[in-house]
Amino acid sequence: MAKIWAFNWKMNPQSFGEAKRLLTYNLQPTTNNKNVEVIICPPFVYLEKLIASAFAKGYGGLRFASQDVFWENKGAYTGEISPIMLKNLGVEYVIIGHSERRKHLAETDEMINKKVLAALKAGLKVILCVGEENRELGIMNKKLVIRKAKSYVKKQLEKDLPPQILKKNLGGLIVAYEPVWAIGTGLADTSEDAAEMIKYIKEFLISNFQFSNPKVLYGGSVGSKNIKDFVQYNEINGFLVGSASLKPLEIGKIIMAINHDK
């Protein structure tokens, strides 16, 4: 089944030359597999030139995302980037509510809700990040731990998703389940638990927002060592990949691991 690969470069790399090189490495999942959708999420400053460069090289299927967006389209908001600006630049997706922004920039659910609505209204597709902070493994029994994680994520979805999207614009919203404790730690969730969480998120989107075919990604320490476990779950529509996206060899190994099983 075709999967989405969203490569979140975060605040990397430090020059456009490196960004251009990274772009070609991130294209590896599309080799011999036209069904794969690759979304590159570079820092704002590289977006315009990377889109032009991808276009010039004929990478037609490649998509681009910004890592954030503001909720107003114009005005006196120093330092902010508006949804319309991104749309006019040829950007198709935007990541909203990444846990690093929630934590380091005190981004609240209220802000995230406004961003989701503004981005969808501008015609951007949204990758909304949700995920519990802590699994407290070893403290409680597993069923209780997962139940707590579900209830945490449910509250986030209730606050982050604007009611206006009910029955509207549904194809434009993807959720990324990213347990905070798994991000950048090398301690990925188990594929089984991630699939259970994702199934739960999909059920929530279907019953509360009448989505017909919700897409949910997994993110958090995805790499060559665990990718085989994750890809076998049909519930998981793809991956939001952070640190591995910056390592060309690691991306190659991920692809090899997947292809090996075909």
Please report, as ranges, the residues that interact with ligand PGA according to CB under 6 A: 8, 178, 183-184, 219-222, 240-244
Which residue number, 113 or 226, has a Cβ lying nearer to ligand PGA?
A: 226
- Tell me whether the omega of the peptide bond preceding residue 163 falls within 30 degrees of 0, making it cis: no
- Candidate list 92, 98, 100, 203, residue with the active-site label: 98
Residue in the block written with tokens 């909720």: 71
98 catalytic per annotation: yes
Which residue number, 101 or 202, has a Cβ lying nearer to ligand PGA?
A: 101
Which residue number, 5 or 70, has a Cβ lying nearer to ligand PGA?
A: 5
250 catalytic per annotation: no
Question: Closest distance between ligand PGA and the C-beta of residue 65, in Å?
Answer: 11
From the number of C-beta atoms within 10 Å of its C-beta (0-12, 13-18, 19+), residue 47 rates as buried
Which residue number, 121 or 219, has a Cβ lying nearer to ligand PGA?
A: 219
Q: Shortest Cβ contact with ligand PGA: which residue?
A: 242
CA torsion, ordered 29, 26, 181, 198, to nearest 10 deg: -40
Question: Closest distance between ligand PGA and the C-beta of residue 12, in Å?
Answer: 11
Q: Which helix (H) or strand (E) holds 8?
A: strand 4-8
Which residue number, 39 or 121, has a Cβ lying nearer to ligand PGA?
A: 39
Write the DSSP assignment of 182-242 as a string of letters: GTTTS-PPPHHHHHHHHHHHHHHHHHHH--SS-EEEEESS--TTTHHHHHT-TT--EEEES
Residue in the block written with tokens 């301690």: 187
In order of 55, 112, 135, 143, 194, the CA distances from 148 in angstroms are: 45, 22, 8, 9, 14
From the number of C-beta atoms within 10 Å of its C-beta (0-12, 13-18, 19+), residue 60 rates as exposed
Active site residues: 98, 178
